[in-house]
Structure 1
Amino acid sequence: MENIVYRNGDGEIQIQLESIEDSGWFRRERCYSFSILHQGIYVGYVDYRSGPYEIMYYAGNIGYRINFQHRGHHYALKATRLLLEFLMEYELACSVFITCSPDNIPSRKTIEKLSARFLEEVDVPRKHWLYKRGEKRKLIYEINLV
């Protein structure tokens, strides 16, 4: 893929593709990582992860992190909307899972503003890598792209 950049309507932020990596068993997982820039300043990242259902259902296909000093400006929401445009343009998915821990209120608000459909709150299986890093419960949402 060429140099891929998406900007929101008012030009406040942009996401820029930084890498495409294959990982996991037999390279079954692919991650498209984007930097989030506000007026040319790096404020965080957003990524799309494809892979086996049993992994992505709990981890989510979409992840984001905003640097502490830049939080509170809805950058994760705006960047995720741009990422969804990318997914639709390149036809990489028909729907995506997006998840958060029940106590992560900012992420939960972001997901709800994306009009994601709440599926369920679940216990993370003990064998999942999220459980091994201390994440025991997840809220599971789905976003349809078609």
Structure 2
Amino acid sequence: MELKDYEILGDGEIDIIIYKKNSGDISKGRVPEYKFKIVLHNTDTVIGHINLRLGNSEKVLNYIGHVGYGIEEQYRGNKFAANACNIIKEVIKDHLMNKVIITCNPHNYASRKICETIGAKFIEIVDIPETSDAYSADETQKCRYEWIV
């Protein structure tokens, strides 16, 4: 899947800027991926990140999801992650994806709320196999959400 270049994407409150593109390595189960930084609009203040993985490996579909995000602690509670998800819809659609999987830890209620806020539907909670590189002592299960864009 071809990775594209994007200008700054934003909503007037935050901007999404590509800082890395990975072409992936299918032999290792890695799919192409965009890594974006989330910044306050028209500033250099980085408040978080959002990643978009393109492709449907077992790891993506079940454990790490197509979309991953994080907001710096002092900026949480402002719906910046939900806004960032909505901003990258354009990129998702550009890659002809009409639905994506988002995962989070079952006890991460803030992330679960973000999924609900953007309209993603809860599918299930899955156990991460100990043999997966997605597994750790802190990451043994994932909530899976499907987001139709």
Provide the TM-score with structure 1 as the length reference: 0.87
Q: Which residue of 1 aligns with 2:90?
A: 85
Counting only pairs closer than 5 Å after superposition, residues 1-12 of structure 1 correspond to structure 2 as 1-8=4-11, 11-12=12-13
Note the alpha carbon deviations across 1:7-63, whole angstroms, 9 max, x for none: 11xx11111112211234537411101111113111111010124431112111100
Q: Which residue of 1 aligns with 2:31?
A: 29
Q: Which residue of 2 aligns with 1:127?
A: 131
Provide the TM-score with structure 2 as the length reference: 0.86
Counting only pairs closer than 5 Å after superposition, residues 108-127 of structure 1 correspond to structure 2 as 108-127=112-131
Which runs of 4 or more aligned residues in structure 1 lie more than 4 Å from their structure 2 counterparts after TM superposition? none
C-alpha displacement of 1:127 = 1.7
Structure 1 residue 60 corresponds to structure 2 residue 65: yes
> Which residues of structure 1 form unaligned runs of 5+?
none
Distance 2:91 2:97 in 1: 10
Distance 1:26 1:128 in 2: 15
Which one has a larger percent strand, Structure 1 or Structure 2?
1
Secondary structure (helix, strand or coil) at the match of 1:107 reads helix
> Which residues of structure 2 form unaligned runs of 5+?
none
Note the alpha carbon deviations across 1:46-104, whole angstroms, 9 max, x for none: 0101244311121111001111221111111100110112211x134221100111100
Residue among 75, 96, 107 paired with 1:103: 107
Residue among 40, 44, 47 paired with 1:38: 40
The aligned amino acid for 2:14 is I
Structure 1 residue 48 corresponds to structure 2 residue 49: no
Q: Aligned Cα RMSD in Å?
A: 1.8
Secondary structure (helix, strand or coil) at the match of 1:115 reads coil
Distance 1:135 1:21 in 2: 24
